[in-house]
Amino acid sequence: MKIFTIKILKVSIVLVAIVAFNYLVDPFLLLNPYKQGRLTNLLVNGKDIAFKAGYNQCLVKSNYLEAQKTPMDIIVLGSSRSNQIGQELFKGATFYNASLYGGRLKDMLGIWQLIEEADIRTETVILEVNPHILKFRHTRNRKWLTKASNSLLMQLNFEDLTEKDPFMERSKLKLQGLFSIQYGLRSIKKNQYEVWTKNDTISDRVLFSDGSERALQIPDIEKAFSTRYRHRLPGLIKNGEYQMQLEAAEVFTSFVEYLQSKGKKVVLFIPPLYPDIYKNDEIRRIHQSFQDYLEQLRNTFRLEVIGGLDPSAFHLNTNDFSDHIHFQRNTMRKVLNEKVESTMDESK
């Protein structure tokens, strides 16, 4: 038995080395609470931080919100389609973009709950809304927001939609990070930074976590409506990717009502679709129910709406998009231009 144990230990040295390396570099801030806290402090103190692509944005924003106490005039909740709504569009107002990559309704609820728990005072809430947001099915499991989103769902009387806190899944994710070589190697890949600043998502010059300040290299993003996505589109439509979920729409309505009852000004943001996608007959047919819902929502709560599904309404063409979903940085100004001033004025 002793010899067997020694043999196992010998082979385990490799595993110990992998674990030690991953813990030290921890590119997505999964494993090292001290590092998480240090970076959160930097953000709270107004510094900008660059993270490796694929970092756990959800965890970072959760940590940040828990530590943040400054009032914000405007807060944005949504998905990566809202990431380009930046501070510069709201000059003079304090602003925080709390949107998340792959974010959906429950993420918005979770983030808002954290904002309330952190007692961050705010005047205006910009809510992204589209059929992708109005869905419970998740491509990414938000293992860090379940507790918070459950809490708000309970307040909104949707107990049946709460989920078990995925403690085990979170722990597994951390263990996976500890034992996977790919995890640690992320930290030495070049040009894969995503940057999050105190108020915004992207900045030109940033303070890196190692303390150096240098120009950011944003990787080239695939332009135009790729052949691959065009091929995938029928499958995505079939899988309901462009379909809103009625139950989610009910929750969203309650959320809007809840925010208004708390005295917040709610603005809906509808990101325009990529031109080729908007022209797709099947998608237009599917989106009709969303348009009807939106109309009803707007009339019931007298909401201000910025954006819209039709890209031609804002004179957008394919060059205004960085891929088949997301805008270029300066495109957001075209979409928001007319509305920003009024939103900002009222926020003040």
Partner 1 sequence: MLFASFEFALFIPIVFILYWKVFGKNKHQQNVVLLITSYFFYGWWDWRFLILIFISTLTDYIVGIRLDQTRPDAIRKKWLWLSLIVNLGLLGFFKYYNFFIESTLALLDQLGVHSNVNTLNIILPIGISFYTFQTLAYTIDVYRGKIPAERKALVYFTYVSFFPQLLAGPIERASRLMPQFKKKRTFDLKMASDGMRQILWGLFCKIVIADTIGHQIDGLFARPESYSSILLIQGILFFAIQVYADFSGYSHIAIGVAKLFGIELMDNFLYPFFSKNLSEFWQRWHISLSTWFRDYVYVPLGGNRSGQFRYKLAIMVTFIISGLWHGASWNMVIWGGLNGLLFLVFFKFSSGSNEGTSVPKLKELFQMALTFLAFALPLVFFRSGSLDLTITYCNQIFSFSGGLGFINAPVTIIVGLMLSFEWIQKGKKHALDISEFPPLVRYSVYVSLILLISWNLQIDNPFIYFQF
Kindly list the residues in this chain that would bind partner 1 in the complex (CB under 8 A). 1, 3-4, 7-8, 10-11, 14-15, 18, 171-172, 175-176, 179-182, 231-232, 234-235, 238
Least separation in angstroms between CB 172 and partner 1: 5
Q: How far is CA 322 from the centre of its chain?
A: 17
- Please check whether residue 54 is in contact with residue 28, taking contact to mean a CB–CB distance below 8 angstroms: yes
Of residues 4 and 34, the one with the C-beta less far from partner 1: 4
What Å distances lie between residue 115 and 127, 250, 315, 328, CA to CA? 14, 22, 35, 28
Least distance to partner 1, CB of residue 64, Å: 28
Whole-number minimum distance, CB 35 to partner 1, in Å?
Answer: 22
- Number of C-beta neighbours around residue 348 at 10 A: 10
Phi, psi at 30, each rounded to 5°: -85, -35
Closest to partner 1 by CB, 238 or 262: 238
Closest by CA to 274, choosing from 340, 232, 230, 240, is 230
Smallest distance from partner 1 to CB 220, Å:
22
Judge whether 58 and 107 are in contact, CB under 8 Å.
Answer: yes
Nearest distance from C-beta of residue 97 to partner 1, angstroms: 31
Locate 198 and state its tokens. Answer: 């105190």
Q: Hey, how many other C-beta atoms are within 10 angstroms of the C-beta on 327?
A: 24
For the bound state, the minimum distance from the C-beta of residue 65 to partner 1, rounded and expressed in Å, comes to 28
Nearer CB in complex with partner 1: 176/217: 176
Nearer to partner 1, 19 or 202 (CB): 19
For residue 126, give the nearest of 279, 253, 305 by alpha carbon. 305
What is the distance between the alpha carbons of residues 229 and 224, in angstroms, rounded to a whole number? 10
189, two tokens: 């890949």
